[in-house]
Structure 1
Amino acid sequence: MALTSLALLLLVLLCVLLAGGLWIALSLAATGLAAMAFVHPSPGTFLASAFWEATGSWTLAALPMFVWMGEILFRTRLSEELFNGLSPWVRRIPGRLLHVNILACGLFGSVSGSSAATCATVSKIALPELRRRGYDERTAIGSLATAGTLGIMIPPSIIMVVYAVAAEVSIVRVFIAGLIPGVIVMGLFSLYIAVWALLNPAKQPPMEPGMGFGAKLRQSAQLIPCALLIVAVIGSMFAGWATATEAAAFGVAGSLLLAALTGTLTWRSFLDSLAGATRLSCMIMFILAGAAFLTKAMALTGIPAALAEGVATLGLGPYGIIAILACVYIVLGTALDGVSMIVLTTSIVVPIVDKAGFDLVWFGIFIVLLVEIAEVTPPLGFNLFVMQTMTGKEQGEVALASLPFFAMLVLTVALITVFPVALVTGLPDLLLSR
């Protein structure tokens, strides 16, 4: 059978299985079995080895540890402390407390690693406070829906770990590469808020009384333990003192200590955090195992290599390929979550990107940004559902409120594509080459 016909057949089979409600991991494995049946008489051996190799990796041990770290801190008073601790420093900036949404999501995202958790947790504290003080609700909703996506961009990020494992690149390099784009996204969000505030002074509440520098420090003191934890976890990886797995273990120990010192660590919260981390980690690892088998099966069929060669002969050029992939991922994001998008496409896309001459670490950040965009893209953008639930607004209304910030994400994708070394790959090369 021609490779083109086989590829179409496998794609149809995968779509049918997913549409029928079969678990993603099982759908991937079943498609892999079908592909393997055309090239190998006993695919069961490959299935077992692929599942073991995908889940028995020491590198992958970082995933459940980072998830558990986020689950522990999710059950502390971190989000409330973030809002109270950051608000004194933005009182004189145009847009004032709306900037806290961006800063709080960035800081909380760095410890939670989850877009939905970041969006829901910060919104729960920020929205009532902003409404009470008379801030424009539409801008507040839009900023929270999109700033929540920082949970998957600011390292350590669960999505980044999944991509690094699936594409077989360094987790630490991907983490470091995401740092500058994450700061750029936060900066562009805050820049839009400042410009909007200058153009719409009537939609802001009266200026609040000023605070002395000492009072600001005292109110922000509660952020110091969490800030130290973030710096210790990320800094240990960036400095080369710890691997991603070791840093994740330190993060869990630090978050348990922080929860104990703040009085939020109880036997019930400990068990709930452990159960939540176990459920999410098992789900992701099961999907990765199914994707690993499908990747191995596809490699044996020769389909990825043939597709890479086919795309290369089209003469689209590197940027043409990237433009097409960007459209594909945005469309996929209307129906799939970030983890599924990555594991479903890695075996096909990575050879194409590699053949086009792109750095795979850069491509990981490119995909993460597209997943961020997908989180606020109707009809199935997950952050839109979260904000719809939090506010009681229609999804279309939330999507319109998010549109200006959506444009900032698109601008960031364009910037890292035009300046890949300066904004993405240069920093990990600099830090890890010492």
Structure 2
Amino acid sequence: MNDMAITALLIVTLFALLGSGVWIGLTLAGVAWIGMELFSSRPAGDAMAVTIWGSASSWTLTALPLFVWMGEILFRTKLSESMFRGLAPWVNALPGRLLHTNIIGSTIFAAVSGSSAATCATIGKMTVPELTRRGYPAEKIVGSLGGASTLGLLIPPSIIMIVYGVAAEVSIAKLFVGGVLPGLMLAALFSGHLMVWALLNPNKVPKADASMTLAQKLAESRHLIPVVLLIAGVIGSIYTGIATATEAAAIGVVGALILSAAQGSLNWGSFKESLLGATRLYCMIALILAGAAFLTLSMGYIGLPRHLAEFVTGLNLSPGVLLIALALFYILLGCFLDGISMIVLTMGVILPTVTAAGIDLIWFGIFIVIVVEMAQITPPVGFNLFVLQGMTKRDIAWIAKVCMPYFFIMVLALLLLWWFPGIVTWMPSRM
């Protein structure tokens, strides 16, 4: 069978398993097993055991359950309510009001975790119940969270940027700096979308709280102090080199427990509920990660990513058309692979073509990260969609639909980066 026939067969199998109600992680592993058993010479059972064990025992993955636990602790304390009390006076004047807390919270936490899944799970635990209680539309709550949480990949520190920097042999520090302005721009575009929607649908936005003077706003902002201290402790420990991301996540858990105890909301019951809640959510995420890791290995043995990359590079396209083709190519790959795997499996073939086209490799790195962000909310294997489904118990098709506006906002962001490349290159050029 040719590559297109294999791709079509695997996509049909994937949709069939998902539609039949099979767990997402098991679906990914099942598609990988079928692909490896039918189209490669490697024994599928042995490969599956080794890959799933390697994925489940990864030390770098330890930060994720800790950040999820931190979010569960905050969810069961008054900290989430305090965050809203502190932010509400400042965002109440904006069209969309408290929906902007999803954008602001995700932007801040993205600088802590470097993971879209951790950002989605942690911020969602704090904002989704509170926004729902206040009467905001479910589609806007979930959509804005799914879109904004992808910033975990773009705003440094970012694991995917490190992988690209090693593969492309470019400065990781310059990649980190180059991701700052695009990340803030994307956050502003997300908030702009919420403002436009709110202006067009004023009846769907709950009424604003009573207006406050500047002094009253500053007084209410004191409720942000515990959250700011916790975030500063986590971010500061990473940027000063005191702690790795995993160690910083542990600092976040300890800090959340201390703040919870100081507020009087920590007891054996809340501690047990937070631990069990984090365990359930992380087990769901870990099963998906294990299935995705096996699918990545399967695709590598079949040779599908390499063959598709060779096809794209063989078209001899102009720089603009090449970037469009690469964007479509990576979005297609996102149906099967996680972002890091896409980069590892294709950069060796893609980079010579990109370099020959005269495209700056720092700029291209940010371009790739945003395209991978798009894949995070693109079915059938949009990882953020799965995390949101686990949190909200909503149908994944509904979640994909409410996240779709943010997909097109990222397309707009890519166009802006193409028209104004200095958004990426200006800060790295000053280093």
- Using the size of structure 1 for normalisation, the TM-score is 0.69
Contact residue 56 and residue 286 of structure 2 kept, 8 A: no
- C-alpha distance in structure 1 between counterparts of 2:238 and 2:292, whole Å: 24
220-229 or 119-128: which moved more?
119-128
How big is the shift at 1:204? 8.1
TM-score normalised by structure 2 residue count: 0.69
Q: Distance in 2 between matches of 1:238 and 1:355?
A: 33
Q: How does 1:32-431 map to 2 (within 5 A)?
A: 32-37=36-41, 50-51=51-52, 54-93=55-94, 99-100=100-101, 102-104=103-105, 106-107=107-108, 113-115=118-120, 118=123, 121-129=126-134, 142=140, 145-154=143-152, 161=159, 179-192=180-193, 210-265=211-266, 266-294=270-298, 296-298=300-302, 304-327=305-328, 342=339, 345=342, 349-357=346-354, 358=361, 361-371=365-375, 374=378, 407-419=408-420, 422-423=423-424
Aligned-residue offset at 1:242: 3.2
Cα deviation code 1:220-276 (max 9, x no counterpart): 222222222223323433444433333233233323333333344433224314423
CA change 1:353–1:74 in 2 (3 A) is farther
Measured at CA, do residues 199 and 315 of structure 1 come closer, stay the same or move farther in structure 2, by a change above 3 Å? Answer: same
Secondary structure of 2:248's partner?
helix
Shift of 1:89: 1.9
After superposition, the C-alpha distances for 1:261-302 in whole angstroms (9 at most, x for unaligned) are 33444332243144235403531441243145325524xx5x
Name whichever of 220-229 and 189-198 sits farther off. Answer: 189-198
Any conservation in 1 of the 2:70–2:256 contact (CA below 8 Å)?
Answer: yes
Determine if contact 2:284/2:390 at 8 Å carries over to the other structure: no
CA–CA separation in structure 2 for the residues paired with 1:144 and 1:278: 19
What is the Cα-based RMSD across aligned positions, in Å? 5.1
- SS at structure 2 position matched to 1:374: coil
- Give the superposition deviation at 1:208: 6.2
Contact in 1 for aligned 2:36/2:301 (Cα 8 Å): yes
For the 8 Å contact 1:79–1:121, the answer to whether it is kept is: yes
Question: What is the SS of the residue equivalent to 2:378?
Answer: helix
CA separation of 1:280/1:253 partners in 2, compared to 1, >3 Å: closer, same or farther? farther
- Match status 1:11 vs 2:12: no
Which runs of 5 or more residues in structure 1 are unaligned?
A: 132-136
Q: Show the counterpart of 2:358.
A: none
How far apart, CA to CA, are the structure 1 residues paired with 2:5 and 2:11?
10
Alignment partners' CA distance in 1, 2:203 and 2:56 = 55
Classify the secondary structure of the residue corresponding to 1:314: coil
- The answer to whether the 8 Å contact 1:237/1:244 transfers is yes
Q: C-alpha distance in 2, partners of 1:182/1:224? A: 24
CA spacing shift, 1:56–1:27, aligned 2, 3 Å:
same
C-alpha distance in 2 between matches for 1:249 and 1:156: 23
CA distance in 2, matches of 1:174, 1:76: 37
Distance in 2 separating the partners of 1:270 and 1:366 = 33
CA distance in 2 between partners of 1:71 and 1:172 (Å): 32
Structure-2 change in CA distance of 1:347 and 1:308 (3 Å): same
**Is contact 1:160-1:175 (8 Å) kept?**
yes
Task: Give the stretch that moved more between structures: 202-211 or 178-187.
Answer: 202-211
Q: Once the two structures are superposed, what CA deviation does each residue of 1:117-137 show, in whole Å capped at 9, x if it has no partner? A: 745752432355366xxxxx6
Task: Output the CA distance in 1 between the equivalents of 2:37 and 2:343.
Answer: 18
Superposed CA deviations along residues 329-372 of structure 1, whole A, max 9, x for unmatched, are 66788xx6xx9554785565444543433557425522343136
**Sequence identity percentage:** 32
Residue number in structure 2 paired with 1:134: none
| Residues 195 and 291 of structure 1, relative CA distance in 2, 3 Å threshold | closer
Please, which runs of 5 or more residues in structure 2 have no aligned partner?
A: 355-360
Q: Count the aligned residue pairs.
A: 404
Please give the per-residue CA displacement for 1:154-208, whole angstroms capped at 9, x wherever unaligned: 4699x96579679977999887665433322222233455567778999989886
After superposition, the Cα gap between the structure-2 partners of 1:371 and 1:178, relative to the gap in structure 1 and judged at 3 Å, is: farther
